[in-house]
Every structure is written in structure tokens, then in C-alpha cells.
Amino acid sequence: MQNNTIRNIWFDFKSEVIFGSVLILLTVLSYWLAAYIPEQVFEDYINPIEYIGTSAVCFFGALLLLTHSEQNRLRMSWASVLLVWGCVDVVMWAMRYILHIKMIGGTPSDPLFNVSVTLGNTLAFLLFIYPTQVLRPGWLNWRRAVLLLLPMLLLGVADYFLPANLLPLIMVYPVVIFITLCLHIRKYRQWCEDNFSTLEDIDVQWIVRYLTMLALAGLAFYFIVFWYVPNRMFTQQWLFLLMFIYTTERVLYRPDPWKRLRNTVEEEEEEPKPANAYRAKLEAWLEQEKPYCNPDFQLTDLRKVLPMNRTYLSQFINTEYGCSFYQFVNRYRIDEAKHLMQEQPGMKMADIATRCGFSSRTAFTNTFTREVGISPTEWSKQKNTL
């Protein structure tokens, strides 16, 4: 049982672990290399190029999102973040390289140092907007956004006028929001598993990668705050650049799972029947029609045979079969794959994956190995040599 749990965790988060490890290695390497960049070279060439590059990516990404043929609230929110961030970068570039105004509070010894940290955390608050709307759709509005930001602003004002040093509280507050988002990731994944049969199209892992980049950029910012070396900003800038490019691509091309469910039509429910009757009806339909072979098969498609709303359908699958809808459908897909491998041993694994409803051969291999314990190729060899 313990081995199965470890194996499931590895398959669920393998790509995130690899992505995070590579990104951490690159971050440490770039931070080390930045120490050897002459400060004047960084100020005259590298830093302005990074500002201009980040601004260009922000404005171009916002343009792509605003002119997208299919608009939705998520795309508009990320476009707004990009526009604001791009404008701030342009203003900072102009102040630094045209007006020759240095940013206030550059080092801990400056009187306005805490104010600059507060402003930096306030700007970073923008980066929490999009993941919050994805993980908790409809929850974040203007009023709640102001309420979330208000404590940090009040701490900044109090720190400026009071003799006490409130910088630790100012810096901890964004960390609290970050941890809260991390705690919602598992709930979001569970919701996806309860409603969809293919997670690759929904791209659950993107939010983990986004928060990983955000965490590393935040650590780079805090490191700069306490050990201020101008050329170390190189690391923070390229992390932000990577985050904007990656997230814009995902926002443009990933489907909105909440919208897919909102577009489904609720049907009238019939008089409730015993669970056994529903189970027999559902299993007979799955065996005859094989709807699970469609990669877009989702929970609400079960209404064709079960007169329940989405909430009751999810509860029915969880209660009667002891698993999520995603796991339930994959059991049928794996059984279908086993049947094909025995009936047609020469069929390519990619073709089997497509025939059985998997979004890709990789998804098929990972799911099969996680559930069966060996890869489909190994299973096929064992069965066909008997």
C-alpha cells in the first residue's frame, strides 16, 4: 500500500519535481554568475535590456490575449496584470535611465528602505491574482482584492510613522497568501479528477510551475533586499520574464475547465432509484457505447444515462466506486488497452493510446504504469509470451 502511494505521488508530481529542480539549479547558477558581472556593465547594458525585454513581452502578451477570438475572465485578468507590470517597468526604466532618478530605499541603511519593500510586495501582489481566479473561480473581485491588499498597505503606513520596525510583518504577509494558494492546489486537482477524464488538456501542473517561479523570484527579491548587490537583480528579472512567457502561453492555449462545465445543460432529475440500478445502467452503457474512448469525455456526459446533476454524479462515483471520475474512467481505458494489446499484439502503443481515449502516448504510459505497476510494453510482452 505504501509503495503504491509513493508511486502515485511520483507519477502525479514527476514533471513538477523535474521542472522545479532544473529551475532551482538555473537560479542558483545565474545568481552565482551575476556576482561576476561588473556593476557598471550591468547598470549600462544588462539591466536596461532586461527592463525593455520584460516590458515588450508584457505588452505583446497582453495584445495577444486582448485580441483573442474567445475572450474569458481569466484571459482578461492576466492581460491586465501584464499591462500594469509592463507600464511599471517602462516607468522604472525611464526614471532610472532618462531622468536619472535612483529608486528610493535601495539598501537597508536608507531611511525609506521599508517603503520600497512595501511597494515591491504590493506590485508582486498582482502575480497572485491569476492563480487565485483559477483555483477559486468567481471568488476574487475588486472588493476582496482591496481587502487582501489592505493589511500590507496599512503595515507599510504604520511602519513609516511608528518607531517600531514592521518590516518582518510586511514581508511575511505575501508568504501567507502564497501558502494559502499552495493549499488549494490539491483541492483544484481533486476537483479536476472528479469532473474530467483527461487532465493533460486541463494542465493541472501549470499552476505548480507558476508558483515555483513566483517563489524563486520572491526569494531573489528578499535576498536583494538584505544583501543588496545591483547585478543580482539579473536573476529576478529573467525569472519574471520566464514566468510571463510561460503563463501567457498557457493562458492562450489551455481550455477553461470551469467554462466547459458552465456550458453543459442541466437536465431534469427523475425519481431516485437504488444505487445498484444506477450502477447496472451506467456499467452497461460504458460497456456497449465505450464513451471513455473519447478524450473529451467528462462527468456531465454521464447524464445521458444517469438523471443527476453534476454534484450528485460526482458523489455517486466517489461513493459507489471509491475513486474519482478520472480514476474511474482510466480503469476502463486501461482494460480496453489490455484487450487491444492481447487481440492485436502488433499495434503501436501510440495507436492504442488514441483508441482508448488517452490524450497522448506519454499519458497512457504513465497512467498504465501507475495503475498496473509495469509499463504497457512490459505487460504486453508478458501476456503474449504465455
Q: Could you report the per-residue pLDDT of 289-316, keeping only the tens digit for each?
A: 899 898 888 888 888 888 888 888 888 8
Q: What is the CA radius of gyration of the chain?
A: 25
Q: What's the burial of 263, exposed, middle or buried (CB within 10 Å: 0-12/13-18/19+)? A: exposed
pLDDT at position 1: 41
pLDDT at position 60: 94
pLDDT at position 275: 65
Beta carbons of 257 and 206 less than 8 angstroms apart: no
Band the pLDDT of 57: cuts 50, 70, 90.
very high
pLDDT higher than 70, residue 352: yes
Answer with the residue of higher pLDDT: 355 or 74. 355
What's the average model confidence in pLDDT over 99-123? Answer: 67
pLDDT at position 269: 46
Q: Is 285 left (phi over 0), alpha (psi -120 to 50) or beta?
A: alpha
Which amino acid, 259?
A: K
pLDDT at position 230: 66
Which amino acid, 9?
A: I
Beta carbons of 327 and 360 less than 8 angstroms apart: no
Instruction: Kindly list the distances between the CA atom of residue 120 and the CA atoms of 37, 116, 152, 153, 381, in Å, as whole numbers in the listed order.
Output: 24, 6, 11, 11, 58
Closest CA to 337 of 285, 373, 380, 291: 380
pLDDT higher than 70, residue 205: yes
pLDDT at position 33: 86
pLDDT higher than 60, residue 6: no
Beta carbons of 95 and 51 less than 8 angstroms apart: no
Mean pLDDT taken over the chain: 80
Give residue limits of the domains in the chain.
2-262, 277-384
Q: Could you report the per-residue pLDDT of 168-200, keeping only the tens digit for each?
A: 787 888 888 888 888 888 888 888 888 888 876
Cell for 289?
A: 457505447
What's the average model confidence in pLDDT over 118-140? Answer: 79
Q: Could you report the per-residue pLDDT of 37-53, keeping only the tens digit for each?
A: 887 888 888 888 888 88
pLDDT higher than 90, residue 92: no
Most confident of 190-194, 234-238, 278-282, 283-287: 283-287
- Separation between Cα atoms, residue 290 and residue 258, nearest integer Å: 25
Q: pLDDT exceeding 90 applies to what percent of the chain? A: 7
What's the average model confidence in pLDDT over 143-160? Answer: 82
pLDDT at position 83: 93
Q: Is 118 helix (H, G, I), strand (E, B) or coil?
A: helix
pLDDT at position 196: 84
Which amino acid, 288?
A: Q
Band the pLDDT of 12: cuts 50, 70, 90.
low
pLDDT higher than 60, residue 3: no
Q: Indicate the range of 154-168, 196-210, 262-276, 287-301 predicted with least confidence.
A: 262-276
CATH 1.10.10.60 fits 277-384, yes or no: yes
